[in-house]
Structure 1
Amino acid sequence: MHPIIRNILAVILGWFIGGAVNMGIVMLGHKVMLIPGIDPNDMEGLANALHTLGGEYFIFPFLAHAVGTLVGAIVAAGIAATHKMKFALAIGVLFLIGGIAACFMIPAPAWFIVLDLVVAYIPMAWLGGKIGARICSK
């Protein structure tokens, strides 16, 4: 396969698979950590309740963002023909953009926003790039 096609495919599949992992963990979190009286599909109700929730309710969203980015970056680095770390970090940037957008759509506590934006995206993409490159070199 031509390297350019393979690199484009790496970003598309990394983004898609990472997003699927993210959504799966979010959905699992809604089943494990039920928010009393809130429908998890009602974004307005969820946004209104977030400021009343304890830190334990933010574990699954953080894990979803971090693990989704990590898996997406591993996939991208694993598939990319060249510049594996750059493509893994591109996944991190795409997820970071989504995380920033989510900050405006779902008003979470400031501590969570800072933790999420600083730890869940670029560092996980870097780690995923290292893992994905190592897996492919064997």
Structure 2
Amino acid sequence: MRTFLINFAAVIAGIILGSLVNMGLVWIGPHIIPPPAGLDMTTEEGLKQAIPLLKPVHFLMPFLAHAIGTLAGAILTALLAKKPLKPIAPLLIGVFFMIGGILNILILPSPLWFSMTDLVIAYLPMAWLGFYLVKKMRKPETITE
């Protein structure tokens, strides 16, 4: 039971960190790559109207927010999860954020190329990468209990 609680807390911490990283990158995105002049991207309705007018470069920061947020959450989860380190807890982070990505696509229709790239690369592969990086970082003797 103790292991479950530790792993559960690790997943919650990963979701919180991943969400903060995601929101931070989405927030600074327009400051790095400004949207076309005259578009109101502060509301859901404004975003729906603006998305068809955006160039591919404008989708870079949302993609990076999704990918880096998932990666950060998975790394934290893998670091906090009970040993022996298994991929399930970090992959739960990927699943959580992938569900969010699917809901985002349903609410704010985006170009098919972006939706597919985002769903295929930003979530489960980044969660696996987070697990893999932590596993490689730890010495073999620290991986077992």
**TM, length-normalised to structure 2:** 0.89
| Corresponding residue for residue 113 of structure 2 | 111
Structure 1 residue 25 and structure 2 residue 58: aligned?
Answer: no
CA shift for structure 1 position 53: 1.1
| Corresponding residue for residue 48 of structure 2 | 47
CA shift for structure 1 position 136: 4.2
Q: In structure 1, the residue corresponding to 2:109 is in which secondary structure?
A: coil
The amino acid across from 2:9 in the alignment is: L
Q: Distance in 2 between matches of 1:47 and 1:136?
A: 45
Provide, for residues 58-93 of structure 1, a one-character-per-residue CA deviation record: whole Å limited to 9, x for no partner.
000000000000010001111000453110101000
* From 123, 126, 129, the counterpart of 2:128: 126
Contact preservation (8 Å) 2:41, 2:50: no
Q: Percent identity?
A: 43
Contact preservation (8 Å) 1:78, 1:84: no
CA shift for structure 1 position 114: 0.4
Contact preservation (8 Å) 1:73, 1:132: no
Q: Distance in 1 between matches of 2:41 and 2:31?
A: 9
Q: Please tell me the root mean square deviation across aligned C-alpha atoms, in Å.
A: 1.6
The amino acid across from 1:59 in the alignment is: L
Contact preservation (8 Å) 2:40, 2:50: no
For these two proteins, the number of residue pairs brought into alignment is 138
| Unaligned ranges ≥5, structure 2 | none
CA shift for structure 1 position 30: 1.9
Provide, for residues 96-119 of structure 1, a one-character-per-residue CA deviation record: whole Å limited to 9, x for no partner.
000000001111100000000001
Contact preservation (8 Å) 1:22, 1:64: yes
Q: In structure 2, the residue corresponding to 1:84 is in which secondary structure?
A: coil
| Unaligned ranges ≥5, structure 1 | none
Contact preservation (8 Å) 1:85, 1:133: no
Larger Rg: 2
Provide, for residues 39-69 of structure 1, a one-character-per-residue CA deviation record: whole Å limited to 9, x for no partner.
3321111111111111000000000000000
Q: Distance in 2 between matches of 1:86 and 1:27?
A: 30
Q: Distance in 1 between matches of 2:95 and 2:107?
A: 18
